[in-house]
Amino acid sequence: LDQPERFDMLIGRLKERGHRMTPQRMAVLKILTGSTEHLTAEQIHKRVVKKFPMTSLATVYKTVNLLKEMGEVIELHFGSDSNRYDAAKPYSHPHLICTSCQEILDPDIESIRDLPQQIAEQYGYKIVGHRLDFFGTCPACQAKESRSSSVPNIR
């Protein structure tokens, strides 16, 4: 499902549920579906404001929470203070986070496919979701780091 399709799909789902389409809400949807980054509420707000300067942060939170309840957005808690939102893959999937530049990748790991199922059988739990995040330093930041440490300041 590509960007415009997903955008239209979400509008459809919201209308089905009797929700109104306001310019602010459309803008939030556009930004969420038009990005595979993992944006914070603040970042979404900053972008919405470019088009609709009067939009409040509270409205962004309200829309995002609505989509979350509908299962069309997932909320990601990383080490940092603020949550991030993902509308491109609204289901459990692994992340690879650079703790230096904050870049977030979605790595492909086939070996985790059956992990939930395995846990469910082994412990008798009914698994509804999971979280698999790796923290480290990306190649670019590793390069930067070794550069600055190999050329120490004279004073």
Partner DNA sequence: CTAAGTGCAAAGTATTTGCTTAGGA
Partner DNA sequence: TCCTAAGCAAATACTTTGCACTTAG
Selection from DNA, a second copy, none that 139 binds (CB < 5 to 8 A by kind) is a second copy
Under the binding rule (CB under 8 A), the answer on residue 115 touching a second copy is yes
3-state SS string over 19-31?
Answer: CCCCHHHHHHHHH
CB of 41 vs a second copy, minimal distance in Å: 16
User: CB atoms < 10 A from the CB of 41, how many?
Assistant: 20
The residues binding DNA (CB under 7 A) are 18-25, 40-42, 52, 54-59, 61-63, 65, 81-83
Report phi then psi at 64, rounded to 5.
-65, -40
CA 116 to chain centre: 21
Partner whose footprint covers residue 124, from a second copy, DNA, none (CB < 5 to 8 Å by kind): a second copy
Asked if 4 touches a second copy (CB under 8 A), the answer is: no
- Which tokens is 16 given? 């089905």
d(CA 61, CA 22): 15
Q: Which does 55 bind (CB under 5 to 8 A by kind): DNA, a second copy, none?
A: DNA
Stretch that binds a second copy, among 10-18, 27-35, 49-57, 93-101 (CB under 8 A): 93-101
- Please identify, among the stretches 1-9, 31-39, 61-69, 136-144, the one whose residues bind a second copy according to the rule CB under 8 A: 136-144
Neighbours of 94 (CB within 10 A): 15
23 in contact with a second copy (CB under 8 A): no
Phi, psi of 123 (to 5 degrees): -115, 0
Contacting a second copy (CB under 8 A), which of 21, 58, 101, 120? Answer: 120
